[in-house]
């Protein structure tokens, strides 16, 4: 293995090394732009939420369609001409991710009517009721006959009667929650929406609760890293180092490919005849040898193969010129081939 490596020209080793660095830098750059420099994680530090559950019950006039019962079951259709009243109960509670020191709030029932003719009216059905616990049970009853009378009266007053309108029966709830040394306010508006359509005998029912909860968050920003082989680089560093290494290694690679190589001839010799050509140096001159100039290097190789002796390569730097001397010793005769290259 050592002999094989020794015969590989240094220039080829450098070119292979630069090519490997260039490829690695390209891969590094591509990977660095596939991953964001930072990742963010949102942590909830405080959460105060309201939970609302609702039940309602309609009372109707005895009729054949209802089998003469006066209270409807949950899934029974509600017909506007037969309904008398509605009773609604709302179960309200507050939950927190951290212990609550105290809760103070109130709720107030309301009725809101919105006519298809364009007018609307809101009524408070009773004064506010206070509560001091994280839960409360609220109840309100509404006479539907009175609602129809109110709609008729308001329509006459504004001069825009309408037999189609929506009535919302609900509660407006506000609570102050003390957690630690701070107070937080939450509110909720649970309501049963009843649609009275002149073209439909059945009421359209829908329960909805609009709420404002409290949620405090904290964003943690972390640096992302790129792990390649034994390297661990910040994404930002990789985005800088990658392109710079591409430019530098690419430029150096182009320079080495295009530049004139003063040792090109000798590299070609080593590539072809590496087994019989060895590098050496002159330690002492002996003038007793006869020097024979050989004009063809291949002839010198033939002599070396016949004599089974190595060719010694000596490099002499003479100013702007590199002189390669190839010597083959045979008894008292030295066969020499000389090659000159400009730098």
| Residue-wise pLDDT tens digits, 251-298 | 888 887 776 554 578 888 887 887 888 888 777 665 677 888 888 888
Q: Where would I find the beta strands (DSSP E) of the chain?
A: 38-60, 83-96, 102-115, 120-124, 129-131, 135-143, 165-179, 182-196, 204-212, 214-223, 225-228, 231-234, 277-279, 290-293, 311-318, 321-330, 333-342
Task: List the domain range (segments joined by +) for residue 11.
Answer: 1-37+224-259
Do residues 60 and 163 both lie within one domain? yes
Do residues 20 and 120 both lie within one domain? no
In terms of Cβ atoms closer than 10 Å to its own Cβ (0-12, 13-18, 19+), residue 165 is buried
Do residues 183 and 65 both lie within one domain? yes
Q: State how many domains the chain has.
A: 3
Are 144 and 205 in contact, with CB atoms under 8 Å apart? Answer: no
Do residues 137 and 24 both lie within one domain? no
Q: Does residue 38 surpass a pLDDT of 50? A: yes
Q: Which residue is listed with tokens 């609760």?
A: 209
Question: 2: pLDDT confidence band, cut at 50, 70 and 90?
Answer: very low
Do residues 31 and 158 both lie within one domain? no
Q: Say how many C-beta atoms besides its own lie within 10 A of residue 138's C-beta.
A: 20
What global pTM score does this model have?
0.58
H or E element, residue 298? helix 297-307
């Amino acid at each position: 293995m050592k002999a094989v490596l020794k015969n590989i020209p240094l220039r080829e080793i450098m070119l292979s090394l630069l090519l490997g660095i260039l490829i690695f830098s390209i891969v590094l750059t591509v990977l660095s732009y596939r991953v964001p420099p930072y990742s963010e994680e949102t942590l909830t530090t405080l959460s105060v939420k309201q939970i609302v559950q609702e039940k309602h019950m309609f009372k109707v006039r005895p009729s054949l369609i209802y089998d003469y019962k006066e209270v409807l079951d949950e899934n029974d259709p509600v017909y506007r001409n037969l309904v008398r009243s509605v009773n609604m109960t709302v179960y309200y509670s507050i939950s927190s991710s951290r212990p609550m020191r105290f809760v103070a709030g109130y709720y107030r029932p309301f009725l809101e009517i919105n006519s298809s003719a364009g007018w609307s009216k809101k009524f408070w059905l009773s004064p506010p009721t206070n509560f001091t616990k994280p839960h409360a049970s609220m109840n309100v009853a509404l006479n539907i006959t009175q609602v129809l009378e109110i709609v008729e009266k308001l329509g006459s007053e504004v001069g825009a009667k309408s037999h189609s309108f929506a009535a919302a029966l609900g509660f407006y709830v506000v609570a102050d929650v003390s957690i630690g040394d701070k107070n937080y306010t939450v509110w909720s508006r649970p309501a049963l929406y009843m649609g009275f359509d002149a073209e439909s005998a059945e009421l359209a029912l829908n329960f909805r609760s609009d709420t404002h909860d409290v949620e405090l968050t904290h964003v943690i920003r972390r640096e992302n890293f790129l792990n390649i082989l034994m390297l661990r680089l910040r994404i930002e560093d990789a985005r800088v180092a990658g392109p710079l290494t591409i430019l530098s290694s690419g430029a150096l690679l182009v320079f080495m490919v295009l530049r004139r190589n003063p040792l090109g001839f000798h590299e070609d010799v080593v590539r072809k005849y590496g087994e019989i050509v060895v590098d050496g140096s002159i330690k002492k001159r002996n003038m007793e040898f006869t020097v024979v100039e050989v004009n063809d290097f291949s002839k010198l190789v033939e002599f070396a193969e016949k004599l089974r002796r190595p060719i010694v390569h000596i490099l002499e730097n003479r100013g702007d010129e590199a002189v390669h001397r190839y010597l083959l010793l045979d008894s008292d005769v030295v066969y020499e081939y000389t090659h000159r290259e400009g730098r």
